[in-house]
Amino acid sequence: MRQTFDETTSPSFGATHLPLIRSAMAEQGMDGFLIPHEDEHQNEYLPAANDRLAWATGFTGSAGAAVVLRDAAAIFVDGRYALQVRDQVDGAVFEIRDLVEGGVPAYLREAAQPGWVIGYDARLHSPEALERLRGAAAKAGAALKAVDVNPLDQAWGDARPAQPTAPVVPHPLQYAGEDSASKRARIGAALSEQGAEAAVLTSPASIAWLFNIRGGDVIRSPLPLAQAILNADGTARLFLDPAKLTADLPAWLGNQVRLETPADLENALAEMKGRPVLVDPAQSAAWYVEALKADGAQIVEAPDPCALPRACKNAVEIEGARRAHVRDGAALTRFLHWVATEAQESLPDEIEVVGKLESFREASGALKDLSFDTIAGAGANGAIVHYHPSRRLNRKTERGSLLLVDSGAQYLDGTTDVTRTMAIGEPSLEMRERFTLVLKGHLALARVRFPVGTTGPALDTVARAPMWAAGLDYDHGTGHGVGSYLGVHEGPQRIAKIPNAVALAPGMIVSNEPGYYKAGAYGIRIETLQVVTEATPIPGGERPMLGFETLTLAPIDRRLVERELLTGEERAQLDAYHARVLAAVGPLVPAEVAAWLEEACVPI
């Protein structure tokens, strides 16, 4: 089984590791040190070797930060992790604070002393993040200073895992849909238009996309950890640990791409002297900008030039996504059938639920990896938005409760991400009513039409309005971008309350995942992936409008739908979706499952 349930950290980490960090800090003459969650590649998911925050504190969430001072220390997490951090981190060692309200800057203003020197590793912070921290430290009379050697890495020493060296392989054209030379030529031309002669690329997802390669350095995403320099003429330099090279990679990359080692990068940056070079100040570490400046290059600050083209999938990638979702839908349907039948009697625990779903996906023969660790929340655990089952927290399903399962798969032709919420036994009227409200928002966002130029925040409201009308809301975004056999969370577009200026464009794959969470009782989320479709005129309309095509194919639990709360339009939409699921997935599942699916897809 791919997913594991053992805890990899302990609340004792803080008391054990903090003195080691402080001693390394003191040796370098520093009064404090900043520990971000991010690593050298500003990834969401990290290889074990780079999960510094977890080693220092015990906290394993996907976002956060810590500050270690001479005489105090604090960890910062956002609202999603408010419960988990108390479980994983020793509150006697680390003061627990909110990452968003005040965050690290407020702490520095309060706790730093005049004259103090607070160290940071310039390879781990973006220039934009550092600027905020520098201002806060200055207000306390303290100064930030880049370290030469990361004191945490020194303290970690031999116990630190090795850097991953997973093989890097070609990502064939039948999945990528556009060869790397073509991608490099058009991104190169875009660099020229921005007045840059080259771009420094540090995002593994961008590098994987640009060169049509995939790796395995980061769990759950086929990412190669690497850096690259793309020149405006379409030639490039790729800095990759030789241990990751596979036999056919050099030929695949071609003679326009020079393969080099990470040790060559510093010299390559020095060669930029006097030239305009694009760097993304939100995505790349400050180290790159500082090195380039020191070398005399001219910095062009702009977003990662691969981010938007990567987000807009081409026809081959969209066709792959459709295929991947039919395959995934068959596995999901077998799983939902199991939940609706056997599990209603056997009342499995969450770990069994995760294993069962994984086994159906594995049976497809095409599974490369999960796209993230499955969230299976039984009863009250479903109300913890970023819950993952572990042996210690594992909970049995119970009659009269809900089971929320958020999961996804990595296939060569596409990445999936889907949430279904199912009744175990007889659901209460309140559960059905709230499920139906979530469904109304979900359906509204699936059928919405919108003009070119519309951004995610404008559509976020479409999914929330039915819940707002009932005095309810949910404290997470409504939709994130998804890669094509890449990261399951991908920018630059996002459907959420927080501002995002990127217009939704044809080919972008986004999730549609409104939810409702009743603390201590149950959680509801309905999530499908949908792709932005080309602008088409509407009969009688005057302006071509964009829209969405739903990719995910898995039935929605009809036992949780209060038919009377749906409008005629909503019922027709749900019925049409279920008819699509039945037609696409029915032929791919065993007869017994197909018979159940037919029932599950009967018009509401």
Closest approach, Cβ 433 to a copy of itself, in A, equals: 8
Residue 441 Cβ vs a copy of itself, minimum distance, rounded to whole Å: 13
Closer of 538 and 602 to a copy of itself (Cβ): 538
Please report whether residue 545 would count as binding a copy of itself according to CB under 8 A.
yes
CB-wise, 501 or 591, nearer to a copy of itself? 501
Comparing CB distances to a copy of itself, the nearer of 127 and 456 is 456
Q: Roughly what angle, to the nearest 10 degrees, separates helices 127-139 and 286-294?
A: 90
**Residue 470 sits in the site that holds a copy of itself (CB under 8 A):** yes
Instruction: Select the residue interacting with a copy of itself from 365, 471, 520, 591 (CB under 8 A).
Output: 471
Examine residue 538 and tell whether it contacts a copy of itself (CB under 8 A): yes
For residue 568, give the nearest of 604, 538, 598 by alpha carbon.
604
* Euclidean distance between CA atoms 1 and 351, whole angstroms: 11
How far apart, in whole angstroms, are the C-alpha atoms of residue 493 and residue 313?
13
Query: Which of 135, 296, 425, 537 is close enough to bind a copy of itself by CB under 8 A?
Result: 537
CB atoms within 10 A of CB 539: 4
Q: Based on the shown chain and the rule CB under 8 A, indicate whether residue 579 belongs to the binding site for a copy of itself.
A: no
In whole angstroms, the minimum distance from the beta carbon of 444 to a copy of itself comes to 8
**Closest distance of CB 440 from a copy of itself, Å:** 13
User: Which residues 6+ apart lie within 8 Å of 50 measured at CB?
Assistant: 39, 40, 163
- HSE-CB of 63 using CA atoms within 13 angstroms: 11
Cβ nearer to a copy of itself, comparing 256 with 533: 533
Q: Which is nearer to a copy of itself, 312 or 472 (CB)?
A: 472
Beta pairing class for 73-77 and 213-214: unpaired
Contact with a copy of itself (CB under 8 A): which of 27, 98, 131, 473? Answer: 473
Query: Which CB atom, from 425 or from 537, has the smaller least distance to a copy of itself?
Result: 537
Footprint on residues 437-466 left by a copy of itself (CB under 8 A): 447-451, 453-454, 457-462, 465
In terms of C-beta density within 10 A (0-12 exposed, 13-18 middle, 19 or more buried), how is residue 193 classed?
Answer: exposed
**Do 357 and 331 meet the contact criterion of CB atoms below 8 Å apart?**
yes
Listed residue (524, 602, 604) closest to 564, CA to CA: 604
Establish if 469 lies at the interface with a copy of itself (CB under 8 A): yes
Residue in 535, 534, 573, 533 with CA at minimum distance from that of residue 556: 573
Residue closer to a copy of itself, measured from CB, 165 or 454? 454
Question: Does 497 participate in binding a copy of itself (rule CB under 8 A)?
Answer: yes
The residue from 567, 572, 579, 598 that contacts a copy of itself (CB under 8 A) is 567
Give the count of residues interacting with a copy of itself (CB under 8 A): 33
Query: Does residue 82 belong to the site contacting a copy of itself (CB under 8 A)?
Result: no
Residues forming a β-bridge with 404: 377, 421
Shortest distance in whole angstroms from residue 22 CB to a copy of itself: 34
- Cβ-based nearer residue to a copy of itself, 29 or 568: 568
Residues in the chain: 604
In three-state secondary structure terms, 509 is: strand
135 binds a copy of itself (CB under 8 A): no
| Closer CB to a copy of itself, 430 or 598, in the complex | 430
Q: Decide if 553 contacts 329 (C-beta within 8 A).
A: yes
User: Omega of the bond prior to 114 within 30 degrees of 0, cis?
Assistant: no
Q: Does 576 bind a copy of itself (CB under 8 A)?
A: no
Asked whether position 157 contacts a copy of itself by CB under 8 A, the answer is no
Angstrom distance (rounded) from CA 213 to CA 224: 8
Q: Specify the residue, 137 or 581, whose C-beta has the smaller distance to a copy of itself.
A: 137
Placement of tokens 């961008």 in the chain: 206
In angstroms, what is the minimal distance from the CB of 473 to a copy of itself? 5
Q: 3-class SS at 48?
A: helix
Locate 108 and state its tokens: 């520095």
Q: Does 499 bind a copy of itself (CB under 8 A)?
A: yes
Q: How far is the CB of 403 from a copy of itself (least distance, A)?
A: 22
Q: Which is nearer to a copy of itself, 458 or 594 (CB)?
A: 458
Determine which helix (DSSP H) or strand (DSSP E) holds 341, and give its type and residue range: none
Residues linked to residue 349 through DSSP beta bridges, in sequence order: 396
Among the listed residues 343, 346, 348, 373, the one whose alpha carbon sits nearest the alpha carbon of residue 358? 373
**Binding-site ranges for a copy of itself (CB under 8 A):** 447-451, 453-454, 457-462, 465, 468-473, 497, 499, 501, 537-545, 567
